[in-house]
Chain A
Amino acid sequence: MLFRMWIATVVLTTTLAMGVTASAQELSKYPDWKGAWARFAIRGLGGQPSFDQTKPWGRGQEAPLTPEYQAVFEASLADQAKGGQGNFIDHSARCLPAGMPLSMVAFLPLEFAITPDATYVLITGADHLRRIFTDARNWPEEIEPSYQGYSIGKWIDEDGDGVYDVLEVETRGPFKGPRAFDATGLPLHFDNQSVFKERIYRDKTDPKILHDEITVFDHALTRPWVVDKKYVRTPNPRPRWTENNCMESNNLVAVGKEMYAISADGYLMPVKKDQPPPDIRYFKKYDR
């Protein structure tokens, strides 16, 4: 009796072990990045979200800009001081996507959906999503310009435990732009030839933290700019995802190259001192 039980146990153990192995290979190779990942905010920094989270936005970033693009940046700041949007007008006034890398700032929490063929970064706002292809595809001969770029990734098992822990990503353009690192209009080069390299991984000691080490290669910079963006998993296991539609609540209006505001009572109004009204020559024809 005992011997039969022993045989049965061995058979069952072997069967389960085979099943577990197969399942582990198929199902548990990828890390758990489920949930909503909010921006890691450092108390006391102030201002709008920044590219380098450890420093304040704008000049506080101490961005390694070339002299030419430092001048572009200063012009953007000067325009914003007078009521304009500077180099940020396309995103703020026209609701165009921010594009890489600002799309990874997590104004609202990000979601990472992992499949064997691709990892999807779902972004709430004008930047819809990024696709990071992990299906071993080659770089296409031609890449159509986009705000998010074309991303190819590769999973790495750094500690050899059978579970991937790092997603290495390269993102190439050409990009659409102009793009900025933050809302001050801290500029990337207008040639839109940026390249981004990322390493995305869970923190080894605090699993609530997700790192995205981003290296920016851009002709507006004197050197590659490396930052470690961190995200914090929100505690709700069933996150409540919201919508953010820029056009719904935007009180800025772009007419050609000029930006105006919509007053609380629904009229066009200037955003800068002495800003002239828009040219309405095409309406005059109907007054005749």
Chain B
Amino acid sequence: MFERSLIAAIAVVLALGATTAEIRAWDDSKYPDLKGQWVRAPGGGARYDWSKPAGRGQEAPLTAEYQAVYEATIADQAQGGQGGDPTYRCLPPGMPRVMHVYAPMEIVVTAETTHILIEHIHDSRRIHTDGRVWPQDMDENPMFSGYSIGKWVDTDGDGKFDVLEVETRGIKNPRTYDPTGIPFHADGRTVVKERFYLDKNNPNLLHLELTTIDNALTRPWSVVKHFQRVITNKPIWWREDVCVENNVHVVIGEQNYFLSTDGLLMPARKDQPPPDLKYFNQTRR
């Protein structure tokens, strides 16, 4: 009788152990608290390296070839053009530029994915932490946000993850680092590496170490960005940001025009001719 009870108890122990292991496959207490709304810390801006001024002040380590591309972009913008920056058409900024965090950011951590949610053009990203491998066709099917695979790391051995390491590949062109049009290589082989972690002394400060590896650069370009959590006791309102809603740019073929306040086409640069309307003449015949 006693032996049967013991056997039964051991069986229960084994069953409970298995159940516990399954449930604890996702234990959110193991992850840092990244809830809430994150915005750029003071000093942040619409530029790659927040420690330096915009444009040429970034001192981007471009190759001679791509420094020339950049100079041509600056010249085009000086004449009213957009240079290589595609975002005026409401195309996504892509990686790594979405991490300028143009609008408040939300980070949603689940077992399989860490979602970076940013309401600006199409700036949201998925960082897959489900053990997947790189898709074989990602170079043929790139995305502006790229394909991001991440890994949580417990660097201090306290049983709780504190760093999210991410690598992003398969990033689509056209992209630039910033609105001045610092360019990426046309080969679309950019790789971005990131480390996200909370400040050890301030849990409301998030650091992002970001390194871009690109063939337009003479070396990997590493920067650090900082974000601060919005502290409020009120429910957070996430504002919808719809780029195309008030976009005054109209692209016809290779040309960009403006939309006037009265809804008519107008030039975007001096002496810009109107669009060729040859197909409309044909309907008049």
Contacts and interface: CB of A to CB of B under 8 A. Distances in A.
A247 B89 contact: yes
Given A6-B6, A129-B117, A140 B242 contact: no
Given A12-B13, A23-B20, A266-B253, A129 B124 contact: yes
Given A20-B20, A268-B275, A270-B280, A241 B13 contact: no
Contacts of A17: 16
B143 A243 contact: yes
A120 B108 contact: yes
Interface in A17-76: 17, 19-20, 23-24, 26-28, 34
Interface string B19-35: 11001101111000001
Contacts of A224: none
Contacts of A283: 265-267, 272-274
A274 B283 contact: yes
A273 interface: yes
Contacts of A16: 13, 16-17, 20
Contacts of B276: 267-268
What size tier do the contact residues of chain B reach? Answer: 35 or more
A156 interface: no
Given A115-B108, A128-B119, A279-B265, A144 B252 contact: no
Contact of A2 (B3, B16, B130): B3
A241 to B, nearest CB: 6
Contacts of B13: 9, 12-13, 16
Given A13-B16, A20-B16, A248-B91, A286 B277 contact: no
Nearest to B2: A2
Contact of A255 (B90, B91, B265): B265
A204 interface: no
B92 A245 contact: yes
Interface string A224-258: 00000000000000101111011110000101110
A88 interface: no
A282 to B, nearest CB: 4
B265 A245 contact: no
Interface in B227-285: 235, 237-240, 242, 244-245, 250-254, 259-260, 262-267, 270-280, 283
Interface stretch (A92-100, A178-186, A188-196, A205-213): A92-100
A141 to B, nearest CB: 12
A142 B264 CA distance: 35
Contacts of A270: 279-280, 283
Contacts of A94: 244
Interface residues of A, number: 73
Contact of B115 (A13, A113, A279): A113
Given A243-B145, A269-B280, A282 B5 contact: no
B226 interface: no
Contacts of B264: 255-256, 278-282
A26 B25 CA distance: 12
A129 B240 CA distance: 10
A262 B119 CA distance: 29
A6 B237 contact: no
A268 B280 contact: yes
B72 interface: no
Interface string B88-108: 011110000000000000001
B68 interface: no
Contacts of B223: none
Name the 4 nearest CB pairs between A and B, nearest first: A256-B263, A266-B253, A283-B274, A277-B280
Given A147-B242, A242-B143, A268-B280, 19 more contacts: A6-B9, A13-B13, A96-B244, A113-B115, A114-B110, A144-B237, A147-B240, A238-B128, A240-B135, A245-B92, A253-B250, A263-B279, A267-B278, A268-B279, A269-B279, A270-B279, A278-B265, A279-B264, A280-B274
Interface of A: 2, 5-6, 9-10, 12-13, 16-17, 19-20, 23-24, 26-28, 34, 94-97, 113-115, 117, 120, 122, 126, 128-129, 131, 133, 135, 137, 140, 144, 146-148, 176, 238, 240-243, 245-248, 253, 255-257, 262-263, 265-270, 273-283, 286
